[in-house]
Amino acid sequence: MKRIAFCHLESLTCLPALNRLFETHGDRIGLVLVSRRFDTNHGGFFAQLTASVRKSGVGMTFWLGFDLISAQVVAGPVGKAARLLFCLGRRPALETLPALARRHGAVIIETGDINAPATLDRLRAYAPDALLVMNFDQILKPTAIAVPRRGALNIHPSLLPALRGPCPVFWALVEGRPRSGATLHRIEDAKIDAGAILRQAEQPIDRRQSVAEINTRLFLAGAGAVGDALDDLAAGRPGRLPGPGQYRGFPSSAEAAAARRAGVRLCHVWFAVRLIAATLGIGRGPQAAHRN
């Protein structure tokens, strides 16, 4: 498996997993497809903001937006200036996606639609052996899935088929699940989180931790299992067909409020601060952010 194309939506809580992924497989990742989340194909920033507030309330909307936007800010001019001041030529404990791609020689393409002809042309020109998806907000259609020679693989932070959908860690805490994990599964069609399961990494759930902390830990576990899953793809192993499971979408504002009253926290401020500090070269960040 020599050529990997990687699909990702930049996220603060995914940065530790992103660093682990590039440390172990960066020499094979030559193309990175980054989702333009606020592209007009998704309805534009204000339309998305309004729809999210109506659906899930202000708290959930603020956290989801902060997770995405903060990752872009630390990768942008402000983050670069801070690293020049604090790092003094050293690599920070956590590198941003542009820095990782640059260091490993990968080309970044921003796209509002991975299934658009122009994006597919770039993907075909790269001719990947595998397409790896982690924290990506776009649904791959058959034309995109057919491009990689060995298949497409997704990292999902739950033990599929349980908790399919965009925020499985939130629902795991709401349901009081004692354990969850990360699943690496084939992407076989446009069904969300429904392909054959290749690998799973089980993890305990600590209800004292926030959604952000658990999300970081589960994506780290998933990144650690990518090598074995890529071997499965290369060997043509079909994987295990999941049951129907249950799809859980974004919570309603009433569900988000009930979860908050029950003690579910989206993110502790100190955790976000330590992740940001780790990207700026100020500190090593949380234990989960340490380089392995």
In this prediction, residue 152 carries a pLDDT of: 98
Residue listed under structure tokens 């709401």: 174
pTM score of the predicted model:
0.94
Domain-embedded: residue 291: no
pLDDT tens sequence across 241-273: 888 888 999 999 999 999 999 999 999 999 999
Is pLDDT at 42 greater than 80 in this prediction?
no
State pLDDT tens for residues 46-57. 888 899 999 999
So what's the pLDDT on residue 40? 60
* Of the candidates 104, 99, 118, the residue with the CA atom closest to the CA atom of residue 10: 99
Q: What CATH number should be reported for the domain holding residue 140?
A: 3.40.50.170
Nearest to 32 by CA among 155, 126, 115: 126
> 197-204 and 179-186 as β-strands: parallel, antiparallel, unpaired?
antiparallel
Phi and psi at 122, nearest 5°, equal: -65, -40
pLDDT band for 292, please (50, 70, 90 cuts): very low
152 is a domain residue = yes
The pLDDT of 118-144, averaged and rounded, is 97
Domain annotation covers residue 292: no
| CA 70/CA 77 separation, integer angstroms | 12
Domain of 87?
4-286
Cis peptide before 166 (omega within 30 of 0): no
Task: Look at residue 16 and tell me if it is in a domain.
Answer: yes
The CA distance from 200 to 156, in Å, is 10
Structurally, the chain folds into a number of domains equal to: 1
Token pair belonging to 58? 């202000």
pLDDT at 193: 95
Q: Is the pLDDT of residue 4 over 80?
A: yes
* CA-based torsion, 288, 198, 169, 59: positive or negative: positive
Q: Is residue 239 part of a domain?
A: yes
Give CA–CA dist 15/7, Å, rounded: 14
* Percent of the chain whose predicted confidence (pLDDT) is above 70: 96
Q: How far is CA 108 from the centre of its chain?
A: 16
> Is 51 part of a structural domain of the chain?
yes
